[in-house]
A = this chain, B = another copy of it.
Amino acid sequence: MTQADTPPSLAEALHQDALAVNAELDRLIPLPDGPERVVHEAMRYSSLDGGKRLRPFLAMRSAALFGVAEDAALRVGCAVEMVHCYSLIHDDLPCMDDDDMRRGRPTCHRQFGEATALLAGDALLTRAFEVLADPATHPDPAVRCELVAALAHASGADGMVGGQMIDLRASQFAQDMPAITRLQQMKTGRLIGFSCEAGAILGKAPSQARLALRNYAHDLGLAFQIADDLLDVEGDAAEVGKRVGKDEDAGKATFVSLLGVERARAQADMLAEQASRHLDMFDERAVLLQAVARFVVERRS
């Protein structure tokens, strides 16, 4: 590999992609002058300038495997980030987790009130589908429809929302490893899975490549969640940017409460390694996706 071919370091790539996502979200969520302006302000408050942008990164870097135009992948990355941000807004509401802090700032409802936060979440979810269906996302409407269907499936009652539902009622059900694994695959895994799958959809990738990405996303999603559970136990609220220790306070089983810290850490490392290997077929083109698998289990926030 010559110097010119050397991929940027992961930190640099994450940073560059996050900047691009912010700029694109800024365009995709304009600020009108009418009396409805406050809901747009709340949408922007909860989606601009925050978070790791892991999901857009996955979408953009998966798309790059197949030579997809960068602006198309960026739009899809923004759509999945809108869905992620809507889920955080609703999850933070008093009737759900009742959280005051998110990404180091007051949560949306603490800043704008509950009603506005509710509507801002609704509007972000809706906007995500509008962006995907727009011809600017891909010239082929069949590709756009596949993206809409896949995102809806990942984020609806059979995916993320179903996972949130189970999470709320977890204490009423068996909380063993199979149950927690299914819950987390629905709650966070499906959207991470969509992010990777989106690249394959945009690139009309062959089925073998799709399968590799699906397996990668599966292991990555679990590794991500175990790392999240470890942060909830070991992390510092200021660094993490949100309340920690809340799973234990809520009496919720997690990978850490079921496995213990050491085994959970080992499991996360193993999954990250395994995720990486699923992408070996892409050779050095997948180096950033492989690096992000390690990043996900080593992050401090």
Interface residue ranges, A against B (CB under 8 Å): 32, 34-36, 38-40, 43, 86, 90, 93, 95-96, 113-116, 118-119, 121-123, 125-127, 129-130, 132-135, 140-142, 144-146, 148-149, 152-153, 155-158, 161-166, 168-170, 172-173, 179, 182, 186
Q: Which residue in chain B gives the minimum CB-CB distance to A161?
A: B123
Beta-carbon contact of A130 and B149 below 8 Å:
yes
A166 touches B34 (CB 8 A): yes
Choose among B116, B126, B135, B163 the residue that contacts A36 (Cβ–Cβ < 8 A): B163
Once A35-B169, A96-B118 are accepted as A-B contacts, the answer to whether A130 and B145 lie under 8 Å apart by CB is no
Instruction: Tell me, in angstroms, the Cα distance from A165 to B116 when the chains sit together.
Output: 7
Per assembly, the copies of the chain total 2
Can you give 18 A-B contacts (C-beta < 8 A)?
A35-B165, A35-B166, A36-B163, A38-B165, A40-B157, A90-B122, A119-B164, A125-B126, A126-B155, A127-B152, A130-B149, A130-B152, A133-B133, A133-B149, A133-B152, A141-B141, A141-B144, A145-B145
Apart from A39-B162, A123-B161, A132-B148, 19 more pairs, CB < 8 Å: A34-B162, A35-B165, A36-B158, A40-B157, A86-B122, A90-B122, A95-B114, A96-B118, A116-B165, A121-B122, A122-B161, A123-B157, A125-B126, A127-B156, A130-B156, A133-B145, A141-B141, A145-B145, A148-B148
Task: Give the residue of B96, B125, B132 whose beta carbon is less than 8 angstroms from that of A125.
Answer: B125
CB < 8 Å: which of B123, B156, B179 contacts A126? Answer: B156
Contact in complex: B127, A157 (CB < 8 Å): yes
Contact among B148, B162, B170 with A129 in the assembled complex (CB-CB below 8 Å): B148
Q: Is the CB of A93 within 8 A of B118?
A: yes
How many Å from the CB of A170 to the closest CB on chain B?
Answer: 8
A39-B157, A39-B165, A126-B156 known; A115 vs B133 contact (CB < 8 Å): no
CB distance from A250 to the nearest CB of B (A): 13
Which residues on B sit within 8 Å (CB–CB) of A132? Answer: 148
B168 and A115 form a contact (CB under 8 A): yes
Give the CA-CA distance A161 to B34 in the complex, in Å: 13
Q: Which residues of B contact A182 (CB under 8 A)?
A: 34
